[in-house]
Amino acid sequence: MAIIIESALGINIGRIVTCVKIKGNHTLYGPVWTVYSKDPISSEYGAMGHNVDVPAKWLKKINPNDHNTTKNKELEST
């Protein structure tokens, strides 16, 4: 599992995702993962879906048992 820490459009930052597989290498960003999200997330083109490709450098690995990473960011900002 990972949290998105950077996003092309900015709207995916803070989303919790599951890394499914390495998709390939981007010429600027390096390794790219296909990730899955229970809730729809945006591709770099604005299309919504449950699977999108995200550069590895935009992901931060998290412990799936750490419940503090799930929704606290949204609760703290309100």
The model's pLDDT over 39-74, given as tens digits with 9 standing for 90+, comes to 999 998 899 999 999 999 999 999 877 755 544 444
pLDDT value at position 72?
47
pLDDT value at position 68?
58
Provide the β-strand partners of residue 55: 32
Domain that holds residue 56: 2-63
Asked whether the beta carbons of 42 and 12 are under 8 A apart, the reply is yes
| 9, 15, 40, 58, 68 from 47: Cα distances, Å | 11, 16, 10, 18, 29
pLDDT at 77 > cutoff 50: no
pLDDT in tens, 11-33: 999 999 999 999 999 999 999 99
pTM of the predicted structure, to 2 decimals: 0.78
> Could you tell me if residue 78 is inside a domain?
no
Asked whether the beta carbons of 27 and 20 are under 8 A apart, the reply is no
Domain count, the chain: 1
Residue 2 neighbours by CB distance under 10 Å: 20
> Could you tell me if residue 37 is inside a domain?
yes
> Could you tell me if residue 42 is inside a domain?
yes
> Could you tell me if residue 39 is inside a domain?
yes
> Could you tell me if residue 68 is inside a domain?
no
> Could you tell me if residue 14 is inside a domain?
yes
